[in-house]
Structure formats: structure tokens, C-alpha cells
Structure 1
Amino acid sequence: MANTTSITHITNPTEHDVVVSEAEFQPTIICLANSVTPVCKAFIERFEETSARHTASDLRFCIMEFNNETSMMFKFAINQLPVVVFMCAGPWSRSVVGATQRDLEVGIEGLLEEVRKT
């Protein structure tokens, strides 16, 4: 299945739970960021551009805004954002705290490698 849809925006814990459960069947990348901060705002733009370059893949890209409704789900401080989580079928996952564009690209390569194994 190709990634022909836009980025999924996760706005509450229930949506997060659905995305995580669906990651069992579709490799998923979640960006946790706070768009108010300049670092996160710039990273979100690069995340969106990266998603657009992977439209032919089966990867699902999601953005979760770190705000009052979602912050209780995580134990990260605002200075540790953005956090990127890569998930694939089974127990495989990887998280990068304070992610950079390079971390995103390396993580995608690792995720695609894991997909090829399954």
C-alpha cells in the first residue's frame, strides 16, 4: 500500500492508541513536537518534506503536537523535543530524542530495512 495520503495528525490519546495499534500492519513514524518552539517548527517542516519524498513507500507519517492534552502521555521535557518514534510489525521500534534531519533519514533507512526482513 503506497503512502498516498497526507500526514496523520494525532490530537489525543485515543488517536495515538489507534496509530500505535495500526503500526503492527503499517510501518509508522511519529514526530512528537511543539510547533511553538523554533526548533520543532523547523523540524516539522523538514518532516513534512521528507514524508512527501516517501509517498511511494508504505510508510505512515504522523505528527503529534506536544500540548496540554498530549503531554501527560510522555515524560519528555520541551527541550528534548522533537522526538521521533519509528515503529514496525512486532516488537521493533526506535525512538530518537532531540531528533535532527539526519536522525530522521537514518531512522527511515533502518525502518525500511526492518520492513524488508518481515
Structure 2
Amino acid sequence: MPTGWRSSPPAGHPMASPPITCGSVAARRLGTSETQATRALSPLASQAADVARQITSLACRMTRFACRETCQASPMFRQASRVTGLALPMTGKARRIIPFASQMIGQAAPMICQTRRKSLQSIDS
């Protein structure tokens, strides 16, 4: 994976988040017309949603990394445990990352929902 991104991956990259759009589903939930619901988000709401997306993206990448490390280390861990009874550092590191990443996702999800709800309310007003 390329490194050096300061915020989010460039548009078109597989890790890039889709742009925020509010279509007819959001309009039906708010009881507004689709024209009202498809207006552009305010700059502040858009920025807040982008930050929330970046946090979620980072947490998801951390979780994938931790799961990959755990899966790669698991056979070695079992083999080493049978021989020496010692845990491999890689397995321990991955096991520490998984709860941290899960906690980040858990904290980011309500923020994303709240940002989306406030964005839709600002569009409606």
C-alpha cells in the first residue's frame, strides 16, 4: 500500500471513500423532496464527514492489518508453543492492535451517524 498520504487516499484509489451524496432515500427519511436532499453539504458538515470517514478508514485498515498479522502468525505461534511454550512477539502485537482498532471503529461509527444526521438536518433547513 502506498504511504505518505497526509489525509485520505487519492480519488479512484481502492481505499478512497466515496463522496457524500444525499439521494432519494435520505429525502424520504426526512420527508423532503429529492431536490432539497441533493443540495450540497455545508463546508463544515462536509469537512466533519470527511474527518469521520478518515477515522473509520484508518480503523478498518488497522483491523485488516491486525487480522492479517494474526493469521500469518497463528501457525508459527502454534508450532512455537508446542516446542517452547513461548508466544511470538508478532502474535502479541496483533492481539493488542485488534481491540484498539475495534475500539476506534466503535467510537467512529456514532460520530459518522451523528455527522450524517446533522448534515441532512442542515440540508433540510
Q: Fold match, TM over 0.5?
A: no
Give TM-score scaled by structure 1 length: 0.23
Higher helix share: 2
Structure (1 or 2) with the larger CA radius of gyration: 2
Give TM-score scaled by structure 2 length: 0.22
